[in-house]
Amino acid sequence: MTTSEQLISTQRELTLEKEEKEKLFIELGLANKELAFQKEEKGKRAAELGIANIELVFQEDEKGKRAAELGIANKELVFQDDEKGKRAAELGIANKELVFQNEEKEKRAEELIIANKELVFQNEEKEKRAAELIIANKELAFQNEEKEKRVEEKEKRAAELIIANKELAFQNGEKEKRAAELIIANKELAFQNEEKEKRAAELIIANKELAFQNEEKEKRAAELIIANKELLAFTYISSHDLQEPLRKIQTFVSIILDTEKTNLSENGKFNFQRMQLAAGRMQQLIDDLLAFSRIATTELKFEKVALKTIIDEVKTDLKETIQEKHATIEATELCSASIIAFQFRQLMYNLISNALKFSKSGIPSHIIIKSRIVKGNQSNIEKLSADKNYCHITVKDNGIGFEPHFSERIFEVFQKLHGKEVYGGTGIGLAIVKKIVENHNGIIIATSQLNQGATFDIYLPDT
C-alpha cells in the first residue's frame, strides 16, 4: 500500500471516529436532558407523596379523636337510659302509692261523714231529750242516766271523730308530700328526657362526622395507593430506564479517556473527567433515592435485635473510612430493641458515616453510641406517651456540628448545609434516617452547636 493510500485510509478512519464522537455527544446531550426531566418528575412525586402522608396522619388522628368522643357519648347515653328507667320505676311506685293514699283518704272521708251524721243525730236526740226533761220532770232521774249514757257515747264518738280528723290530716299531709315528690320526679324525668334528646342529637352529629371522616380517610387511602403505585413505577424507571443511559455515559466517557487520551487537550480531559464525576454523583443520587423509596414500600417486619450486632456490622462496612479518619467508635451500654433489622442497619450506617464525613480536619473522629430503656415522662418530650417505655438511642460525635436553627432542615430531602466541593453526598442520608425512625413509630431529635459536634437522640417504643 502506498503512502497516499495509507493517508486516505487514515483520514477515513479519523472521519469515522469524528462521526462516532459526534454521535456520542448527541446521545450524551439527550441523556442529560432525559435525566433532568426524570429528576423534576421525581421531585414532584416525592412532594406529592409527602403531602399525602401528612394528610393521612392528620385524618387518622381526627378519626381517633372522633371515635373516642363517640365512645364517651355512647356510654353517657347508656347511663342516661339507665337513669331514665330508674326514674320511671320510681314514678310508677309513687303513682301506685298516691292511688292507695287517695283510696285511704276517701275511706277516711266516708267515715268522717258518717261520724258527722251521727253527731248531728246525737244533737237532735239531745234536744229531744232536753224537751222531754222539761216536760217530764218526773222522769228526770231516768233521763239524767240516759243523758249520761248519751254523753259518754257522744264523747266516744267525739274522740273517734278527733282521731279520724287527725288521721285524715296526716293522710292529706302525706298526699301533699307524695304529690310534691311526684312533681319533682316528673320535672327530673322531663330534664332527663331533654338531656337524652340532646345526647341523641350530639350522637347523630358525631356519627355523621365520623362517617364523613371515614369517607375522607378512604379517599386519602385511595390517593395514597395511587401515589405508592406511581412511586413504584418511578422506582422501576429509576432502577432500569434511568440508570441505563447513565451507565452508557460513564462507559463512553471511560472509553474516550482511555482510547483518546493522546488526542484530547488538557481542557478536554478535564471536561470529560468532570462529566465522569457528575455521572458518578447522579448514580449515587439515584441509588439514594431508590433506598429512600424502598423504605416506604417494603414490608415492616419487627424483631428483637441486639443493637451491638447492628453496630458491629456497620463498623465492618466502614472499616477503611474509620482507619482513614483515625476514628474511635464507643458503643457501650447497648440494649436490645424491637426493630426492622435491615432498615435500622441503614439508619446506623448513615449516622456513623455522616459523623465520619463531617469530622474536624486533623482531629481524630470520636463517636459515642449509647442506649437505654426510659419512661416517656422522663424525657420531657411532649410527643412521647408519659407511661410508655422507650428505647433511647444516642449517637454523639466531635465533628464540625451545625447551627441550631438547622436542626429540622437537615432531615429534609436534598437539604445540604455545605457545597459538593467541600463535602460530597446527595442530601438524602438523614431524610432516610428520619423515615426509618417514623417507620418504627419513633422520633429523632438533632442538637448541635457550630464546631462543637452533633448529637442525635432516637426514641423507639419498647414493645
What is the three-class DSSP state of 443?
A: strand
Q: What share of the chain is helix, strand, coil (3-state, %, to 5)?
A: 75, 10, 15
DSSP one-letter code for 410: G
Strand ranges of the sheet holding 328-331, from the earlier edge strand across to the other edge: 328-331, 366-375, 389-396, 454-461, 443-448
Q: Which pTM was predicted?
A: 0.45
pLDDT of residue 351: 92
DSSP track, 271-306: HHHHHHHHHHHHHHHHHHHHHHHHHHHS----EEEE
- pLDDT tens series, the chain, 463 aa: 677 777 888 888 888 888 888 888 888 888 888 888 888 888 888 788 778 778 877 887 888 788 778 778 778 877 887 888 788 788 778 778 878 888 888 888 788 788 778 878 888 888 887 777 688 678 777 777 887 888 888 888 888 888 888 888 898 889 889 888 989 988 999 899 999 999 998 999 988 888 888 888 888 878 877 776 666 666 656 555 666 777 778 888 888 888 887 888 888 888 888 787 777 767 766 766 666 566 655 556 788 888 999 999 899 888 998 998 899 999 887 888 888 888 888 899 889 988 988 888 888 999 999 999 888 888 778 888 888 889 999 999 998 888 888 888 888 766 555 545 545 556 677 888 898 898 888 999 999 888 889 999 999 988 7
Buried b (16+ CB within 10 A) or exposed e, 279-299: beebbebbebbebbbbbeeee
Q: What is the pLDDT of residue 16?
A: 85
Rounded CA-CA distance 235/242 in Å is 10
E-strand ranges in 2-54 read none
Domains of the chain, earliest start first: 1-230 (1.10.287), 303-463 (3.30.565.10)
The DSSP code sequence of 67-109 is HHHHHHHHHHHHHHHHHHHHHHHHHHHHHHHHHHHHHHHHHHH
> Distances from the Cα of 1 to the Cαs of 4, 9, 14, 309, in angstroms?
8, 10, 18, 71
The whole-angstrom separation of Cα 358 and Cα 450 is: 12
What is the pLDDT, as a whole number, of residue 366?
Answer: 93
pLDDT at 424: 53
Which string of b and e fits 179-212 if b means at least 16 CB within 10 Å? eeebeebeeebeebeeebeebeeebeebeeebee
